[in-house]
Structure 1
């Protein structure tokens, strides 16, 4: 079965985020280790070095290819095992990311978000994050990891459509606000 796109766009005070959810039949502390322990993070996304409690680490995302470059990560908030907020990438080019974990009735829901710097230009990050998070589920459940080729081409248009629709809505709202201010 082909994977399906699961991301949605969410408007927040500081911008538009591409947001994804995954659910695990596991305690929150167990799922948190897939974000906070390098070997477990490496099973689905990549590896890091440094100490998160200092606010600065390096991350190499190896899920798609070997030889990826190390990226700067500024940890803005870490409230284990519930919240992680960080800027990933070089200053001026970084992406704001978050992971929120909640637990209820023996299940943990992980919500991951990535702020888009440009709604239209960054639509292609949607298939990658579906792929990464499906890898997280597979790693946690000790299942075979998905193949990246099942994601990008098949899901690309879904995310581009979401972004075009939101861009159109934002332009309409902006035009309405301008005409209301002058009318």
Structure 2
């Protein structure tokens, strides 16, 4: 079952996923922004974020290069908006993460701009995987062990949720 949903924000299509954590907002913020903590579930970064630019190296993908990311908004501990630089506009990923805490529970609202709606059949299952890894890492304080198996099978659900025509839907096995 998918947890992501389509949403139009400022006239742009987005994939939006929400996760909750029984953890203080500062702990979840650290898991999203500190290179070592981020590396436990997603990627590491190098550079000086105060310059507005870092180099991100994906840790759990094959053949993923290090790529530059621009920090567009950083409002500790509630909002982070970043995007990668890429010559192919369909490969520019703008991510907007918002955190809120109430009664010891922190909620993450994760949104990605979709430059091409059909990409959701890949990125939807991908973010499900990574956000499950984030949950595990925050809960255990360790590097996540959640594996990829089964996530791609959610592609068809994402296609349906985003209203993609049948010929654009991937059939995962």
TM range, normalised to the smaller chain?
0.7 to 0.9
**Aligned residue number for residue 60 of structure 1:** 57
The structure that is helix-richer by fraction is: 1
Provide the secondary structure at the position in 2 that maps to 1:99.
strand
Provide the secondary structure at the position in 2 that maps to 1:164.
coil
**Aligned residue number for residue 94 of structure 2:** 96
Q: CA deviation at 1:121?
A: 3.8
The 10-residue stretch of structure 1 (87-96 or 49-58) with the greater mean CA deviation from structure 2: 87-96
Match of 2:40 among 35, 38, 43: 43
Contact 2:5/2:162 (CA < 8 Å) preserved in 1?
A: no
Question: Which runs of 5 or more residues in structure 1 are unaligned?
Answer: 168-183
Provide the secondary structure at the position in 2 that maps to 1:133.
helix
Aligned length: 161
**Aligned residue number for residue 156 of structure 1:** 155
Match of 2:81 among 80, 85, 89: 85
The 10-residue stretch of structure 1 (115-124 or 26-35) with the greater mean CA deviation from structure 2: 115-124
Whole-angstrom distance in 2 between the partners of 1:51 and 1:22: 28
- Which portions of structure 1, spanning 4 or more consecutive aligned residues, are displaced by more than 6 angstroms? none
Whole-angstrom distance in 2 between the partners of 1:110 and 1:63: 21
Contact 2:81/2:94 (CA < 8 Å) preserved in 1?
A: yes
Whole-angstrom distance in 2 between the partners of 1:106 and 1:162: 32
Q: CA deviation at 1:35?
A: 1.2
- 1:7 has 2:4 as partner: yes
Contact 1:27/1:108 (CA < 8 Å) preserved in 2?
A: yes
TM-score, reference length from structure 2: 0.86
> RMSD over aligned Cα, in angstroms?
1.7
CA distance change for structure 1 residues 28 and 97 in 2, over 3 Å: closer, same or farther?
A: same
TM-score, reference length from structure 1: 0.82
Contact 1:123/1:163 (CA < 8 Å) preserved in 2?
A: no
Q: CA deviation at 1:13?
A: 1.2
The 10-residue stretch of structure 1 (109-118 or 67-76) with the greater mean CA deviation from structure 2: 67-76
The 10-residue stretch of structure 1 (52-61 or 138-147) with the greater mean CA deviation from structure 2: 138-147
Question: Which runs of 5 or more residues in structure 2 are unaligned?
Answer: 166-173
Contact 2:27/2:138 (CA < 8 Å) preserved in 1?
A: no
**Aligned residue number for residue 69 of structure 1:** 65
